[in-house]
Amino acid sequence: MANSPVEPGSFNLSRWAIAHPSIARFLFGLIILTGLFGLMRMGQKEDPDFTFRVMVVQAFWPGASLADMQDQVVNKIERKLQETPYLDWVKSYTRPGSAIITLQVTGNTDANDVADAFYQVRKKVGDIENELPEGLLGPYFNDEFGDTYITLYALTGDGYSYPELKQYAIQARDVLLSTEGVEKAVILGDQPQKIFIEVSSQALAERGLTFTDLQSALAGQNAIDATGSIDTGSRSVRISVDGGFSAAEDIRELRLNSGNQVTRLGDIATVTEGLEDPYQRKFRFNGKDSVQVGVVMAKGFKVTDVGDAVEETLERFEATLPIGLEVSQISNQPEVVREAIGEFMKALGEALLIVLVVSFVSIGWRSGLVIAIAIPLVLAATFAVMYELGLDLQRISLGALIIALGLLVDDAMIVVEMMERKLEEGLEKLDAASFAYSSTAFPMLTGTLITTAGFIPVGFAESTAGEYVRSLFYVVGISLIISWFVAVYFTPWLGYMILKQRAHAGSHHDAFDTRFYRRLRATVSWAVEHRIIVIVSTLAIFAVSLWSFQFIPKNFFPQSSRPEILVDMWLPEGTSIKEVEAEAQRLEAELLTDPDQRFVATYVGEGAPRFFLPLDQQLRNPNYAQLLVMARDEDARERLITKLRMKLAEDFPSVRGKVDRLFLGPPTGWAVQMRVSGPERDEVRRIADQVKARFNQNPILQAVHDDWLEPVPAMTLVVDQDRARALGVSSQRLRQMLQATMSGAPLADVRAGEETISIVAREPEDSRRLLTAVNSIYVPTDLGAFIPLSQIAKVVPKLEQGIEWRRNRLPTITVRATLPDGVQSNDVTLKMFDEMQSLRDSLPAGYAIEIQGGAEDSAESQNSIAAKAPIMLLVIVVLLMIQLQHFGKAMLVLATGPLGIIGAAAALLISGAPFGFVAILGVIALLGIIIRNSIILIDQIDQDIAAGMERREAIIGSAVRRFRPIMLTALTAVLALIPISRGIFWGPLAYAMMGGILVATVLTILVLPAAYAFFFGRSPHKA
């Protein structure tokens, strides 16, 4: 029998710990202190860091057509970018005069290699600068696209202009940069100042002047040139010349010479100071124009500490502000983190309480006390190691701690339960305390390592989503390995001091001779007798569970519980940005009267700054506005979403709106997306229209559109080249005159402190707003005369494509749509994609319809996990072989792992929780957890057989004896998950693991003995 005391000659760590209590006490205190130190010092964040593998390249070429931008700029840059190492894809969208190119490196690229790839982008584009057209502005590079503002402030004030707001924002930025823990303080939403010279081309022509004359006159008075110095022998005295412009009044006094005539500029032009017109973007807060300041935290700091320091700095700054100027906080990540960590700590406390209650109720108060002391010890050691490894407290690591809590108690529970059993059987306290080490220490270690190995695909998945949840593997692995050491070193020492010696010590007592255990023995005996029925039934149930997954809703990552709402407003392509602002202000005004909102921040021309790491940030777009609405709480958020969707549908017919919550995980954008790509634009458009028609046929889809949007009105000047050449007018001069008079041409700069203010000449407003004004522009000729443009050219109106997207240098149209709440996007996308099989089969060579968005990212993430599954299986098999030293038994134990899928499928179906990326992690982790219990049971059977027990009795008896610790550890693991099962993010994982562990544990007690009896039930040596 395996009940004999420990052999005196073998080393026993548990016995050694009991024999050296001073060392145990010292290590106990040291672990608690280092754990508390680590917990207080470790970083805190809302979400784990993950590498943004996206870089943005922008280029501007004023006056260029869309075709010119693509041929002369985008093609050349994209072709060079395709040489970038680790490249995943290159995407671009082009408008007349501008292009934005987005490059993404593959998800399995290391962070250091990402930085090198971005360096290569700059280098390679720099190599072709001489091939890019003259007059191109840029390319400009942004490889800090993922910078997240931990706090965002809006400066507003009645009667304060944008330049005044900016000056105070500069002061705020300067004081914030001196705050410890602040890496960057960035001014956002400021409006560039301009000085406008509004003069008609006719007025200039009447005086024989051109815009070139005006530019030369400005430069002659305002340019800075070397003026020399005088060396007196003992001193060097610098000479300076006064006369530069400092304000609009100075420019009005400028004299222009034309022949013998001198003209004062103010007599023929209106000179005014103003802001960029039309503006590129505008930020508002609660109905007022605003300039905003965003703070980026330096690495290695605690977000709550930096947040407190920033608030103290801002309080001192606000005390110096004039009356009427307000500083309002839009985003406060430190407070969000503080609340999130508070909620998780509460959940951790609830889970800890549940585990302790289970321990006290199931194994008695003395044994429960041992567990109650061991758990904080494991957590303290885990915090200490996390701090040393640089692991922060954030959404994933805190969830991992709660998941681990139900698992880390297993080893201590097994040891304490065995001590109790051995005491009941009559062993002395020292022998009972050290017995678990000799009988189960190494099977427990193998089980612990296998449980940790079950998380290998999570820890090493080479994708952005894998990187997002990577700390799950490290935290669970650290805590489980520590829990094993605590179980074999500290738990026997604690048990020796706390557990009570039984009165029948020295005599054998059968602890399993009770009514319950007799019934359990009968049930296991039946399973062993009818092993074929049990095995076949289990396989059938397993097959049904796999089949049932088609009925479980699927998603990528769930929505956030944060109260913010994002309202996207897309107006038709070509809409003036001022019209976009007017529509945004109309919605903003209605929102500000709603009691469910706390504030409304409006962003015209681009999306909100990245105040939330997984934000799907929108780049600059003139026909776009986004409203960030802060609801009072989660219930108010839901009410606001309903009202906003109704309001947009009823009162904003020209707006394509999208009202959404924040989502967790890597950003994915629209709910349902499919892209069509191919070499020819017209064919891509034809196929995309068919896809869009299929979208429109689906009644569940809303706001169906594509990203090439609508054609826009344009005007083409058809020049009579013969007449133009005869008069000495080139097409270049025509373009320059049109730009200068209609949109404005920069002529010079005025220096005002740190600001450089551009001087812009343009036609007066009453004429430049008219389409017919183009014909009346006066153009200078080489002969010195001026002629109306209508004499050499005619205007032809037309419609042209306003925006064009490409992916990997192929024209690409993405068809997009939204979904009602409660409908999982992945389910709808995959179903529609399958329904388009006939359309996809009929496509010409070189054309493709592909899934995009969450469904695509989900598939990539799942593939990255699946790619590491063979490594996980290899590690588990190696550990099984080391422990069991029998290939057949190792395979039998491995085969029990997937039994968890039965319970996981049932739990997800009953709860309605979606089977997303997080739930997949739970199902994968089940493999190691279930195998762990199977190892201990198989090892017990082998020990009993080796001790001379009859094979059938060993199989049944081991299942009976291991029932209590196996069920107790399963019960604690399941119940410990209850606190996080209520959360949106961890809920699906919790349900999958709870159902999987519970069902698989019951099946293990019955199916594993039946399978062992089926494969190994016959003795190799018969009498």
Question: What six digits make up the tokens of 461?
Answer: 């998945």
Q: d(Cα 852, Cα 1) in Å, to the nearest integer?
A: 62
pLDDT at 1022: 46
* Judgement on whether residues 166 and 289 belong to the same structural domain of the protein: yes
pLDDT at position 309: 92
Q: What pLDDT, on the 0 to 100 scale, is given for residue 513?
A: 65
Predicted confidence at residue 878, as pLDDT, reads 93
Note whether 292 and 168 are same-domain residues: yes
Token output for 389: 């490894």
Does residue 794 lie in a domain region? no
Spell out where 618-670 has E strands.
Answer: 624-631, 656-661
User: Based on the domain organization, do 952 and 886 belong to the same domain?
Assistant: yes
Q: How far apart are CA 930 and CA 526, in angstroms?
A: 23
Residues 997 and 925 in one domain: yes
CATH number of the domain bearing residue 296 = 3.30.2090.10
Token pair 């179906």 in the structure block, residue: 909
Domain containing 1013 — which CATH number?
1.20.1640.10
**Longest CA pairwise span in the chain (Å):** 132
Q: Looking at the structure, tell me whether residues 218 and 307 fall in a common domain.
A: yes
Both tokens of residue 740?
A: 């200068």
- Using alpha carbons, list the distances in angstroms from residue 1001 to 377, 462, 569, 902, 998: 27, 32, 52, 11, 5
- Answer whether residue 77 is part of any domain: yes
Contact 821, 552 (CB under 8 A): no
- Asked whether 602 and 622 are in contact (CB, 8 A), the reply is no
Nearest to 744 by CA among 732, 759, 729: 759
- 180 and 267 together in one domain: yes
CA angle 408, 412, 414 (to 5 degrees): 110
**Strand, helix or coil for residue 1017:** coil
Write down which residue in 623, 645, 662 finishes a domain: 662
Q: Does residue 606 lie within any of the structural domains? A: yes
> Would you put residue 342 in left (φ > 0), alpha (ψ -120 to 50) or beta?
alpha
pLDDT of residue 77: 93
d(C-alpha 282, C-alpha 585), whole Å? 11
Residues 910 and 984 in one domain: yes
Q: What's residue 3's pLDDT? A: 46
Is the Cβ–Cβ distance between 393 and 341 less than 8 Å?
yes
The verdict on residue 236 lying in a domain is no
* Token couple for 944: 């009993």
pLDDT at residue 30, as a whole number: 95
What 3-state class would DSSP assign to 54? strand
Short-list 691, 702, 696, CA closest to 837? 691
Bridge pairing between strands 755-762 and 193-198:
parallel
Residue identified by tokens 């800890």 is: 352
Burial of 125 (0-12, 13-18, 19+ CB in 10 A): buried
The residues of the chain scoring below 50 in pLDDT are 1-6, 507-509, 1022-1023
Q: Is residue 505 part of a domain?
A: no
Same domain (yes/no): 373, 495: yes
Q: Determine contact, residues 876/928, Cβ cutoff 8 Å.
A: yes
Both tokens of 971, joined, read 């019960």
Within a domain: residue 350?
Answer: no
Residue 585 lies in a domain: yes
The pLDDT > 90 percentage for the chain reads 30
**What b-and-e string marks burial along 203-212, b requiring 16 or more CB atoms within 10 Å of the CB?**
ebbebbbbbe
877 and 1015 assigned to the same domain: yes
pLDDT tens sequence across 716-748 = 778 888 887 887 877 777 777 777 777 777 888
Provide the residue count of the chain.
1023
Show Cβ contacts of residue 517 under 8 Å, excluding neighbours closer than 6 positions.
960, 963
Q: Is the residue at 150 inside a domain?
A: yes
What does 881-943 look like in DSSP terms, one character per residue? HHHH--HHHHHHHHHHGGGHHHHHHHHHHHH-----HHHHHHHHHHHHHHHHHHHHHHHHHHH
Same domain (yes/no): 641, 683: no
**How many C-beta atoms lie closer than 10 Å to residue 341's C-beta?**
20
Task: Identify which of 911, 933, 936, 869 has the alpha carbon closest to the alpha carbon of residue 995.
Answer: 911
Q: What is the CATH number of the domain that holds 108?
A: 3.30.70.1430
986-1005: burial string, b at 16+ Cβ within 10 Å, e else: bbbbbbbbbbbbbbbbebbb
Q: Are residues 164 and 203 in the same domain?
A: yes
Which of 118, 145, 172 is the last residue in one of the domains? 145
3-state secondary structure of 263: strand
Tally the domains of the chain.
6
Give burial (CB, 10 Å; 0-12/13-18/19+) of 112. exposed
Q: Look at the alpha carbons of 958, 962, 967, 969 in this order and tell me if their dihedral is positive or negative.
A: negative
Residue 814: strand pairing partners? 675
Pick from 87, 119, 145: which residue ends a domain?
Answer: 145
Q: Which has the closest alpha carbon to 248: 191, 193, 195, 192?
A: 195
- Residue 105 is part of which domain span? 53-145
CA distance 208 to 785: 8
The residue to which tokens 């074929």 are assigned: 532
Are 280 and 171 contacting, i.e. CB atoms less than 8 angstroms apart? no
Say if residue 810 is in the same domain as residue 878. no
Give the relative orientation of helices 887-896 and 854-884 as an angle to the nearest 10 degrees. 140
